[in-house]
Amino acid sequence: MKLTVKLAGVIGALAMATGLAAADDYPEKPISMIVTWNAGGSTDVLARLLAEPLSKELGVPIAVTNMPGGGGSLGTQAALDAPKDGYTILATTSGNHILTPLKNDVGYRYDDFEPIGQLVAASLILAVREDSPWQTLDDFIEAAKAEPGKYLFGAVPDVAPHLTMRALADAAGLDVVHLPQQGGAPGATALLAGDIDLLPANAATVASSLKGGKMRGLAVFSADRDPAFPDIPTAKEQGYEVYGSPFVGLAVAKGVPDDVLETLKAAFDAVANDPAFQERAVKTVSALTYLPADEFGKIWERDWKTYAPMLQK
């Protein structure tokens, strides 16, 4: 009995000692970066690309940990449940961070986390097949108004491309039918096969089809044109103020010590602004849209407010 009490005391003291030391010596052991999607997905590949230079910057290995499931909620929750010592960071996306907690009862909110920085804000492109009669957004809107309920668009249910398309349909007063898809690639296949007429998609999903001439972009749902596709006009240019831009970035649970957070932010800033890393990311997944922590936090707030009315029941 006495021994257990003593042992508990020793362990407690040790834990306190290591807890205090953590702030000064951080990082001193491997960091786990949670990816809330499957190994091999675009977020996962981006996270693995980032992990390599980030671990050099911090001087400890970074292990990419896939925790897929429940619309990204399982991994996000795990990042909240982990000890708040900065050794668990979350590669967070619009899906798991904003959309899933709005739509389903998952037990966390966007502001349970501290932003570290934004890595990517993908452009959303409204694509049609090359043989489609529509050349501009207006062509499509006219056709859709003439025949309500005739045209099909494909998108994963309740993710940014789907919600943006819904916003466009609301803004223009259209009746287009949603054919739910299982992911970006199946959606692109369905468009090429002619099973759907329109595909709102992340630029990375349709990039090779656009460049290869199999698809045509009608509009980009960003404030400015995508530098990779300068010929595709924005929706705003064509008279529809509809925006959508899913993000990928890093976050940690609230409650992580301030100096640890600063270390992580500094390391992330250094890597995200490193031309070598940028080049590699552009080639593999997509162009980077770096934002520092405070602005990334504002994006969370903006998206939360935008999507809340569309998703909350």
State which amino acid sits at residue 65.
T
Asked whether position 109 contacts other proteins by CB under 8 A, the answer is no
Q: Which two tokens stand for residue 307?
A: 């999507």
Nearer to other proteins, 44 or 114 (CB): 44
Contact string 153-192 vs other proteins (x = CB under 8 A): ---xxx------------------xxxx-x--xx-xxx-x
d(CA 73, CA 46): 19
From the list 128, 248, 285, 288, which residue makes contact with other proteins (rule: CB under 8 A)? 285
Using alpha carbons only, how large is the chain's radius of gyration in Å?
22
Please answer whether residues 114 and 254 qualify as being in contact, where contact means their C-beta atoms are separated by less than 8 angstroms: yes
Contact string 8-37 vs other proteins (x = CB under 8 A): ---x--x---------------x-x-x---
From the list 12, 25, 38, 239, which residue makes contact with other proteins (rule: CB under 8 A)? 38
Nearer to other proteins, 17 or 266 (CB): 17
Q: How crowded is residue 62: how many other Cβ atoms within 10 Å of its Cβ?
A: 22
Q: Which two tokens stand for residue 229?
A: 């596709």
Asked whether position 283 contacts other proteins by CB under 8 A, the answer is yes
- How many residues sit close enough to other proteins to count as binding (CB under 8 A)? 65
Q: Which two tokens stand for residue 96?
A: 């798991």
Q: Closest Cα to residue 228, out of 169, 276, 285, 156?
A: 285
Asked whether position 298 contacts other proteins by CB under 8 A, the answer is no
Contact string 224-243 vs other proteins (x = CB under 8 A): --------------------
* DSSP assignment of 229-270: -TTSPBTTTTT-------EEEEEEETTS-HHHHHHHHHHHHH
Helix (H, G, I), strand (E, B) or coil at 158: coil
Residues at the interface with other proteins (CB under 8 A)? 11, 14, 30, 32, 34, 38-42, 44-45, 48-49, 51-52, 61-71, 73-74, 77-78, 103-104, 106-107, 149, 152, 156-158, 177-180, 182, 185-186, 188-190, 192-195, 207-209, 211-214, 280, 283-285
